[in-house]
Chains A and B, each alone.
Chain A
Amino acid sequence: MAAIDVSGVTKQFGGVTALQNLDLTVEDGEVFGFLGPNGAGKSTTIDILLDHVRPTAGSARVFGMDAQDQSVSIRERTGVLPEGYGPLGQMTGRTHVEFALEAKGAGGDPDALLERVGITGAADRRAVDYSKGMKQRLMLAMALAGDPELLILDEPTTGLDPNGARTMRKIVQEEADRGATVFFSSHILEQVEAVCDRVGILNQGHLAAVDTIDGLREAAGATGQVRVTMDAVPDGLIETIEGLDGVNSVSITDGTLVAGCENPAKGAVVHHCYEAGTVEDVETSEASLEDLFVSYTGGGA
């Protein structure tokens, strides 16, 4: 059974379309990375799964239950680390975790959870006084309360230092080994790359790609980049190169011509540059997953 099944979901806020006919399936027990730039609709998707936001059209199901009609049953079995959650209460870190355990109707030792996320020393301090990273760790401890079947982590590494990010990845791995499904959103590829079985790339409210990390790597490996630095880039060269077979994109920055192309086309690109002017330097590279991510999400950088 699919842990998460989103079908045909559209969400409009006023005149703005946040999600456009989104279909998404996350299988039971997998670690799914939900990637996309800020504003792509990741949090809106998660809000719909938790019934914080209602879809304009389409439906979302979690554990086969309707996200709107059976939200409480869903949330009883789900641990959530929401994004942009605002200030915590006046209570101590431990009391916060106890509150989560009580809400889940779960037993369990709050101190053990605090130790797992690495804030044992701050258990008796008020959570409002926590640093950003400590708050994030506390929220993770609350999400882990009651050993949920599904973990929904929205940008979980926000505010974490490298150590914290490592702890987060380790915990995601442990939870997956325990059999939990993990739905992990991020705008940073490296973070999902390390832990996720499959990745979905969301861009402007629709799913641009869904594949395993290996599948994405294969797709990325087929293309690459040539960077040719010239003393001057002659007129018409861009058009010539754009016209070559296997060339996907051409741009010029600071006298360097950058062509995104399939690997066999690289020789032709360099050849045309030599014919057109004085070449000072040539670099070629294989595309990384990062480039692929950028190409799917149209990041101009």
Chain B
Amino acid sequence: MSWSAVAKKDFTDALRSRAIWAISVVFILLSVVIAYVYGSFSADQLGTEEVTAEGLVFFLASNITLFVSITALVIAYKSIAGERESGSLKILLSLPHTRRDVLLGKVLGRGAVLAIPVVVALAIGAVVGSAMLGEVAAQALLALLVVSLVFTFAYVSVIVGLSAITGSTTRASMLTIGFFVLFEFLWGIVSIGIVWASNGFSLPQSTAAYPDWIFVVNQVPPSGAYTTFLYALVPGASGNAADIDAFYATPWLGAVVLLFWLVVPAALGYWRFSKADL
């Protein structure tokens, strides 16, 4: 259980960082504001179909994706590369820890650091929103908590995995920012580009005529998968998977994709890290 010792050390080290506390406070306040706004206005004012306790869940979720992705990047991009560059890793690896312990410990330690503000923000947002709406969607809120935690650890795992690929913080920052930009900003364009290329380099007349499998492509970004996974667990929510008639068109695809992000980049990072000279 050597990884747990590394995780614990990493966790306690990170908790002393003032920057993390500052970002967390902003995020928690934002969640309260979002919950308050959702509870204060009518459906017409908010541009949604109706104001429900389940709707609150998706409103809170939108805040989570932005916060978790940016904060994961900030707190984890140097987690392995930075320690290799500075030589701190020599301290850990002079003790009887394996490189796998180090990588796993970093994912769990930093994931736990990020999980704290996520849980606090959800709890406060849920209390404020539910109190104003006068109803509690317990199952939906529980689903939001579970999916958000999976998303948090998946994102941290991606960033730590990318950080393990290289021994230079400059390259680690390019890799992780590149990941963020590609999957969180540009993916819509990439998705359209894939449709365009597969359709003989022209776009179909309307989005309705897009091929069904583009649904899968659109779930690739972690934050897209997060929202889709949420649809699978929130009662009465269907998302756009219901519009397509194919075996893969299920919101559970979101869970599969999150699992992919949780495991694959970290495994890739480990593969490179395990062979590297420190």
Contacts and interface: CB of A to CB of B under 8 A. Distances in A.
Is A bound to B? Answer: yes
A72 interface: yes
A103 B5 contact: yes
Interface of A: 13, 47, 50-54, 71-73, 75-76, 80, 82, 84-91, 95, 99-100, 102-105, 139, 142-143
Contacts of A84: 87, 90
B97 to A, nearest CB: 6
B55 to A, nearest CB: 41
A129 B257 CA distance: 43
Contacts of B16: 90
Contacts of A89: 9, 12-13, 88
B86 interface: yes
Contacts of A139: 91
B28 to A, nearest CB: 23
Contacts of B9: 89, 91, 99
Contact of A86 (B17, B86, B96, B275): B86
Given A86-B90, A88-B88, A75 B96 contact: yes
Given A13-B277, A53-B277, A82 B12 contact: no
Contact of A47 (B12, B13, B98, B278): B278
Contact of B2 (A54, A73, A86, A103): A103
B90 A52 contact: yes
B104 to A, nearest CB: 14
B93 interface: yes
A47 B277 CA distance: 9
A54 B277 contact: yes
B94 interface: yes
Contact of A85 (B13, B90, B97): B90
A86 B277 contact: no
B163 to A, nearest CB: 15
Nearest to B12: A91
Contact of B278 (A53, A80, A103): A53
A102 B95 CA distance: 10
B54 interface: no
B112 to A, nearest CB: 15
Q: Considering residues B83, B88, B90, B95, which has the most beta carbons from chain A within 10 angstroms of its beta carbon?
A: B95
B96 A85 contact: no
Interface in B224-278: 275, 277-278
B97 A103 contact: yes
26 contacts: A47-B277, A50-B94, A51-B93, A52-B277, A72-B98, A80-B94, A82-B87, A82-B91, A84-B87, A85-B88, A85-B94, A86-B83, A86-B86, A87-B86, A87-B88, A89-B88, A90-B12, A90-B13, A90-B16, A91-B13, A95-B12, A102-B5, A103-B2, A103-B5, A103-B96, A103-B97
